[in-house]
Chain A
Amino acid sequence: MIVTVILIPFIAGILVPAIPFQKRWQKEVFLETAVVLNSILVWYLLLHHSDSTFLLAHFTGNLNISFRVDGMSMVFAGLVSALWPFATLYAFEYMTKEEHENVFFLFYTLTYGVTLGIALAANLLTMYFFYELLTLVTVPLVMHTLTREAVLASRKYLYYSLGGAAFAFLGLIMVIVYGSTTDFILGGVLDPAKTVGKTNVLLLIYVMAFMGFGVKAAVCPFNSWLPQAGVAPTPVTALLHAVAVVKSGAFAIIRLTYYSFGTNFLKGTWAQYAVMSVVMFTIVYGCSRAVKETHLKRRLAYSTISNLSYILFGAVIMTPLGLVGALTHLVFHAVMKISSFFCAGAVMHQTDRHYVHELNGLGYKMPRVFGIFTISALALMGVPGLAGFVSKWNLAGAAVESGNPLAWGGIACLLVSALLTAIYMLTIVVRAFFPGKDFDYSTISDIRDPNWKMLLPLFVFTVFIILFGVYSQPVVDFFIKVANGAV
């Protein structure tokens, strides 16, 4: 069953170029059906999961490829499978203007399977495997336009990701050697008997592995690939570089921290302070770069960098509450950012404008898109009543609760970042709705909102943003259960 949900996207993806579709809509129907079906399967699986581990293949030694559903995987798999059908729907419309559709959808769908693989992995090796695979299947997507920028971007993406994985690999080795098992167990698997006297080395390797996985999560010194990867088609940037890929990085770090090394081992050590400092710096750094950036998608990408570090900040607080905060932001940010990215994509698709200063006055011509954009902007800023506030509240609450002075400083970082978020998001909104007195409306006279395929996902996400903002309790309760290992 678990393998099925990973395989379906693979098969469907490979079938796309293989089947000679007569009409475009047939392909769309086929893909959408496959994706929706898979999502339903995933949800069914998550809701009726058993605690058993499914062993797919034996690697070397005691290492194997196996899958299991636990709390964390439920969160991530649920998130991914909920977003994917919408993103696919959106992509149909978006890709009408792009070439090589088949290749695009092949890899796009493959990525679904791989991401689910990461989510459902039962041990570190399996996760690492799919993690590397994820890099590979997403590179063609980044390269898709085959322009010079795209090639440079994908090259950078590859270097960074593979390099990061190389260091994450060291963490994997540590867990293999010093752990009692490589399976994910909340609280860590390091064997105290084996780690005696090796604490500092282990911590050093943890920091390396953190930074290694952190490459995908765009932690500061290794973040420059993400804005560059914005040259990819928007469905990719939105789903992968705001949700699937980068969240995989964050997810991997959470797995590493909470489920492999264990918080008891890490809490209060220099390693925690080191990674927390990096994360805090990234939070502020990402935002300040976003303020300076004038390319719409790149600006959102920088925003993603900062927001990912929110998640990591929650993770490195290393308390159950911190995990709750991280998970909340993991899910909520996904919804918010995908919505804002889709808005950006819609603008680019409809008007072919890419820079912020070109957006003047568009708010009147595309009121729906920009209305939704405004809502997602407000949510990202953390206005109460929208999703962003809840996750920030949880993060800050966890930081306060932890009693760690550095974490208290982290709250300040969060807020500085919120202010900068306001600056870079609201300037766009203001431009769109208040173009200025002497703006010539005739330049945008033939622009209008996109069709339903693009708008439907946007509306759905908006509803979720508001819903999560107003009524987040059940979700957060579930996260609390996950963080306490009750799921």
Chain B
Amino acid sequence: MYFILLSIFFPILAGLFLLIHYRTPLSGEKKNAGRKSLLLLTGCSLVITAVFVVIALFCEGEGFILFYLTKDLPIYFRIDNVGRLFSALAVIVIPCAGFFSFEYMKHEEREGRYYGFYLLVFGVLNALCFSGNLITFYLFFELLTMSSMPLVLHSGSKEAVMAGLKYLFYSLCGAYAALFGIYFLYRNCDSLTFTVDGALRASAITEHGTFLLAVAFIMLLGFGVKAGMFPMHAWLPTAHPVAPAPASAVLSALIVKAGVLAVIRVLGMFGRDFLKGTWVQTAWLCLTLITVFMGSLLAYREPVLKKRLAYSTVSQLSYILFGLAVMDETAFVGSFLHILAHGFIKAALFLCAGAIIYKTGKTRVEEMRGIGKEMPVTMWCFTIASLGLIGIPPTGGFLSKWYLALGSLNSGIPVFDVLGPVILLVSALLTAGYLLPLSIHGFFPGAAYDYGSLQKREPCKLMTVPISILTTLSVLIGIFPHLIIAVIHMAAAGR
């Protein structure tokens, strides 16, 4: 039990300590010494937190209440299987990206601030995973926005600041839309504790059914902002390119997933039975499919690598949301698998992009001809991860998409049961179209390529190892999915 608390508050406190202690920029002679201690502290904290989380993951228990906000609003923590899966993803990606940034951030100023917020994000993410009721979740959802915003605008350039603000306001907008729903849920449910089969009172459904549907839609839209769903996706392609690569990785792999987690929780609160077959579901399906297609298309015509990846994230997240919107158990499994697979893959891809930028300073795709010759390890990882995202067996991506398509076809929703898989396939094709050219040109620069300028620029181990780990994991999911699928089924059943 205490490990939950430790896994939440240890990184938060550590982050705050870093923020306060390293508030002035390091400079001159002290820089090296200061940096070393900073890295040591950060590294230790990351590892210790990871250990705490892992221990917490294996805890069983009913959860506990930290304190009461108001009379019937407890801050309540609990571990369930949904949380476990998310937490597992986080506990792998964050340290990886963290160690990656030890090298990546070497030349940046104000590293203390970066690591401080990084740790904060870690703690908040853990708290998000372990939240036991909606209000706790909302609390940390807001905090997540606040603490991750400094990561986005870390570089401090004008675009970065603007992007950070944009990210902040989009997220808050979503959060407040969600809060609107929470107010009504609070009055129409017995408690805000998470369930999977609906917490609305029967009387409330009969009285305000229509209105509650609207509320549900607003909540879905609101949390969908974080998950980059269509009308409010615009922050993603702005925020990713300006953030440092590891931050982008975390952002894309985990933070946007917080929106997905929220949607899962909200679905549980309303209950699938309540939403199935209503206009809410239809509208939601429409939005997700639009997002899927539009994201891929935009990515396809995007020349800047990180922005391309960002569009890709937009598209891929809506795969997940589509799976949830179908409200079918198989599709749910597909969604969850995609959460994990996409998490690893996108983290790997962003780290690769980061490594390329770090070493060569090139950001645009057409500049990267022959990059595979210069940084083979990185590019290999990039290629494998790309294949996973496209959905080539035996990677995790294939499996998840398979389940998604299967679930959609099973669901029996008119039109969408077929339209969904079709669009997913088209999108997969587009994915191939925007990711593979990079590998192809990277490894086969063509006849015109001047081999004379080629030089080995493989990054150091601190960068390649995390990338490799993540890539490997993405493949491993596809190969050994059974354990995970079992856990997912348990999660879907509410255990």
Q: Which residues of A pack against B, CB within 8 Å?
A: 364, 367, 378, 381-385, 389-390, 393-394, 396-397, 399-401, 408, 411-412, 415-416, 418-419, 422-423, 426-427, 430, 433-437, 439, 469-473, 476-477
In the bound complex, how far is the Cα of B73 from the Cα of A384, in angstroms? 11
CB–CB B71/A383 < 8 A: no
Task: Tell me the complex Cα distance, A400–B207, Å.
Answer: 14
Distance between Cα atoms of A364 and B20 in the complex (Å): 11
A384 and B138 alpha carbons, distance in the complex (Å): 8
Which residues of A are found within 8 Å of B176, using beta-carbon distances? 415-416, 418-419
Q: Interface SS of chain B: helix, strand, loop or mixed?
A: helix
Contact of A383 among B143, B155, B165, B168 (CB under 8 A): B143
B67 touches which of A396, A408, A430, A470 (Cβ 8 Å): A470
- Closest residue of chain A to B173 (Cβ to Cβ) is A419
* List of A residues within 8 angstroms of B184 by Cβ: 400
User: CA A314 – CA B38 in complex, angstroms?
Assistant: 49
CB nearest neighbor in B for A470: B67
Q: Is the CB of B156 within 8 A of A435?
A: yes
Bound Cα distance from A331 to B143, whole angstroms: 24
Q: Give Cα A464 to B139, complex, Å.
A: 19
CB <8 Å contact, A378 and B165: no
B183 at the interface (CB under 8 A from A): yes
| Structural contact, B138 and A393, CB atoms closer than 8 A | no
B24 within 8 A of A: yes
Point out the residues of chain A lying under 8 angstroms from B150, CB to CB: 433-434
CB pair B158–A426 under 8 Å, yes or no, is no
Q: Bound complex: CA of A469 vs CA of B168, how far in Å? A: 22
Which residues of chain B (103-154) have a CB below 8 Å from chain A? Answer: 135, 138-139, 142-143, 146, 150, 153
Give chain B residues whose Cβ lies under 8 Å from the Cβ of A400. Answer: 183-184, 186-187
What is the bound-complex CA distance between A378 and B69, given in angstroms? 16
Known: A385-B139, A415-B179, A430-B164. A473 touches B70 (CB 8 A): yes
**B68: chain A residues within 8 A (beta carbon):** 471, 473
B317 within 8 A of A: no
In the complex, B455 has a CB within 8 A of chain A: no
Inter-chain contact B169/A472, CB cutoff 8 Å:
no
Residues of A contacting B73 in the complex (Cβ-Cβ under 8 angstroms): 393
Residues of B within 8 A of A415 (CB): 176-177, 179-180
Question: A472 to chain B: which residues have CB within 8 Å?
Answer: 69-70
Query: Are B157 and A426 neighbours in the complex by a CB distance under 8 Å?
Result: no
Interface string of B57-88 (1 = CB under 8 A from A): 00000000001111101000000000000000
A/B interface sample: 8 pairs, CB < 8 A: A385-B139, A397-B187, A399-B183, A419-B172, A422-B168, A439-B156, A473-B68, A476-B70
Query: Which residues on the B side are within 8 Å of A439 (C-beta)?
Result: 156
| Interfacial chain B residues near A422, Cβ < 8 Å | 168-169, 172
Which residues of the other chain, A, contact B153 by a CB distance below 8 angstroms?
430, 434
Query: In the complex the two chains form, is B71's CB within 8 Å of A473's CB?
Result: yes
> What mask results when residues 181 to 219 of chain B are scored 1 for a CB within 8 Å of chain A, else 0?
001101100000000000000000000000100000000
Q: How far is the CA of A476 from the CA of B135 in the complex (A)?
A: 18
B68 to chain A, nearest CB (A): 7
Per-position 1/0 for B280-304, Cβ under 8 A of A = 0000000000000000000000000
**Size of interface on B: residues with Cβ below 8 Å to A:** 36
- A384 & B156 in contact (Cβ 8 Å cutoff): no
> Whose C-beta in chain A lies nearest to the C-beta of B180?
A415
Top-10 shortest CB links A-B: A384-B139, A415-B176, A396-B183, A437-B156, A400-B187, A422-B172, A437-B157, A383-B142, A419-B173, A419-B176
Please, which residues of chain A bring their CB within 8 A of the CB of B253?
none
**Minimal beta-carbon separation of A426 from chain B (angstroms):** 6
Complex alpha-carbon distance, A423 and B23, angstroms: 25
Closest chain B residue to A416, Cβ basis: B176
Contacts of B186 in A (CB 8 A): 397, 400
Q: Would B155 and A437 count as touching, CB distance under 8 A?
A: yes
Determine how close the nearest CB of chain A comes to the CB of B403; give it in whole angstroms: 36
Residue in B71, B155, B183 whose CB lies within 8 Å of A411: B183
Which residue in chain A gives the minimum CB-CB distance to B184? A400
Q: Contact between B165 and A389 (Cβ–Cβ < 8 Å)? A: no
Q: Is B243's CB within 8 Å of the partner chain A?
A: no
Answer whether residue B405 sits at the interface, using C-beta atoms and an 8 A cutoff: no
Given A390-B70, A415-B177, A419-B169: A434 and B156 interface contact (C-beta under 8 Å): yes
Q: How near does chain B come to A371, taking the closest CB pair, in angstroms? A: 10
Q: Which of A384, A397, A427 meets B135, CB within 8 Å? A: A384
B97 at the interface (CB under 8 A from A): no
Q: How far is the CA of A436 from the CA of B165 in the complex (A)?
A: 13
Per the bound structure, the CA–CA distance linking A422 and B139 in Å amounts to 15
User: Known: A364-B24, A411-B183. Contact between A390 and B164, CB under 8 A?
Assistant: no
**Distance A426 CA – B155 CA, assembled complex (angstroms):** 18
Given contacts A383-B143, A434-B164, could you give 9 more A-B pairs where the C-beta distance is less than 8 Å?
Answer: A378-B146, A412-B180, A415-B180, A419-B176, A426-B168, A430-B164, A435-B156, A437-B157, A469-B69
B69: contacting residue among A408, A427, A470, CB under 8 A: A470
B69 touches A384 (CB 8 A): yes
Q: A390's contact among B69, B142, B168, B169, by CB below 8 Å, is which?
A: B69
Shortest A60–chain B CB gap in Å is 47
- Contact across chains for A430 and B161 when beta carbons are under 8 A apart: yes
Q: How far is the CA of A382 from the CA of B69 in the complex (A)?
A: 13
Nearest Cβ distance between residue A319 and chain B, in whole angstroms? 13
> Closest approach, in angstroms, between the C-beta of A284 and any C-beta of chain B?
13
User: Which residues from chain A contact B211 at a C-beta distance below 8 Å?
Assistant: 408
> B20 — nearest CB in chain A belongs to which residue?
A367
Known contacts A411-B180, A418-B176, A473-B71; is A401 also within 8 Å of B139 by CB?
no
Do residues A364 and B69 form an inter-chain contact, with CB atoms below 8 A? no
